[in-house]
Structure 1
Amino acid sequence: MRTFLGFPTVDHRHVFAIALPMIVSNIAAPLLGLVDTAIIGHLPDAIYLSAVAVGAMVVSFIYLLAVFLRMATTGYIAQSYGAKDLSAQRQHFNNGVIIAVILGLVIAFASPWINDAAMWVVAPSAELEPYAREYISIRLWSAPAALMTLVALGVLLGRQNSRKAMLLVIITNAVNVVMDVVLIIGLDLNVKGAAWASLIAEWVTALIGFYWTARALQWSLPHFAISGQALRRFLGVNGNIFVRSLVLQLCMATMTGYATRYGSTLVAVNAVLMQFLMLISLGLDGIAYAVEALAGAAKGQKKPDKIRYWCKITLLWSSLFAVSYTLVFAIAGEQIVRLITDIPEVVNTAMNYLPWIILMPIIAHWSYWFDGVFIGLSMSKGMRNTMLLSALIGFMPLWWLGLPLENHGLWLALSGFLLMRGVTQAIWLWRTNTNNKSAHRAHVR
Structure 2
Amino acid sequence: MDKKFFQLTFYNILANLTVPLTGLADTAILGQLETHTFMAGVALSNVLFDYLFWGFSFLRMSTTGLTAQAEGNRNTIESFQILLRSLVVASLAGFLLLLLKYLIGEIGFSFLQGEEEVKASGYEYFHSRIWSAPGVLCNFVLMGWFLGRSKSGIVLAATILANLSNFLLNIWFVLYLHWNSAGAGYATTISQYIMLIFFLIPLTKERTRLGEVYDKIRIFSLSGFRSLLSLNSDILMRTLLLISTFSLFRNYSSGLGSEVLAANAILHELILVGAFWIDGAAVATETISGTLKGNKDFEGLKRILKLGIISGFAISFFFCFLFLGFSERMFGLFSKSKQVVFLAQEYGYWILPVLLLGATAFIFDGFFLGMSEGKTLRNSMVVSSLVFFLPIAYWGKLEASNHILWLSLTSYMFGRTLTLGIIAYKKFFVRKALSL
The question of 1:357 aligning with 2:335 is answered no
2:178 and 2:404 map into 1 onto residues whose CA distance is: 46
**Aligned length in residues:** 431
Question: What TM-score does the superposition give when structure 1 sets the normalisation length?
Answer: 0.82
The one-letter amino acid paired with 2:406 is: W
The one-letter amino acid paired with 1:357 is: I
2:357 and 2:45 map into 1 onto residues whose CA distance is: 33
The question of 1:239 aligning with 2:233 is answered yes
2:169 and 2:432 map into 1 onto residues whose CA distance is: 55
> Which segment is superposed worse, 107-116 or 323-332?
323-332
2:4 and 2:341 map into 1 onto residues whose CA distance is: 41
Gaps of 5+ in 1: 1-10
Q: Contact (CA 8 Å) 2:20, 2:273: kept in 1 or not?
A: no
For the aligned residue pairs, the C-alpha RMSD in angstroms reads 3.7
Distance verdict in 2 for CA 1:190–1:399, change over 3 Å? closer
Q: Structure 2 residue aligned with 1:255, among 236, 241, 249?
A: 249
Q: Structure 1 residue aligned with 2:90, among 85, 100, 106?
A: 100
The question of 1:85 aligning with 2:75 is answered yes
The question of 1:202 aligning with 2:197 is answered no
- 1:416 match: 411
The one-letter amino acid paired with 1:409 is: I
The question of 1:297 aligning with 2:291 is answered yes
- 2:382 match: 388
SS of the residue 1:89 aligns to: helix
Q: Contact (CA 8 Å) 1:18, 1:162: kept in 2 or not?
A: yes
Q: Contact (CA 8 Å) 1:363, 1:419: kept in 2 or not?
A: yes
Equivalences for 1:221-240 in 2 at 5 Å?
A: 221=211, 223-224=213-214, 225-226=218-219, 227-240=221-234
Q: Contact (CA 8 Å) 1:394, 1:413: kept in 2 or not?
A: yes
SS of the residue 1:160 aligns to: coil
Equivalences for 1:26-425 in 2 at 5 Å?
A: 26-31=16-21, 58-122=48-112, 136-137=126-127, 139-177=129-167, 195-213=185-203, 215=205, 219-221=209-211, 223-224=213-214, 225-226=218-219, 227-328=221-322, 332-333=326-327, 336-337=330-331, 340=334, 345-346=339-340, 353-400=347-394, 404=399, 406-425=401-420
- 1:4 match: none
2:401 and 2:343 map into 1 onto residues whose CA distance is: 13
SS of the residue 1:411 aligns to: helix
How far is 1:182 from its partner?
Answer: 7.3
Q: Contact (CA 8 Å) 2:83, 2:145: kept in 1 or not?
A: yes
How far is 1:360 from its partner?
Answer: 2.9
How far is 1:258 from its partner?
Answer: 1.6
> Which segment is superposed worse, 37-46 or 257-266?
37-46
Structure showing greater radius of gyration is 1
The one-letter amino acid paired with 1:144 is: P
> Which segment is superposed worse, 235-244 or 50-59?
50-59
How far is 1:394 from its partner?
Answer: 0.9
How far is 1:177 from its partner?
Answer: 4.7
How far is 1:191 from its partner?
Answer: 6.6
1:37 and 1:193 map into 2 onto residues whose CA distance is: 12
Q: Contact (CA 8 Å) 2:13, 2:280: kept in 1 or not?
A: yes
Amino-acid identity (%):
26
1:394 and 1:66 map into 2 onto residues whose CA distance is: 24
The one-letter amino acid paired with 1:154 is: G
Q: Contact (CA 8 Å) 2:59, 2:232: kept in 1 or not?
A: yes
How far is 1:236 from its partner?
Answer: 1.3
Q: What whole-Å deviation, never above 9, does each CA across 1:175-215 have from its counterpart, x for those lacking one?
A: 44555677778988777665554433323322332342464
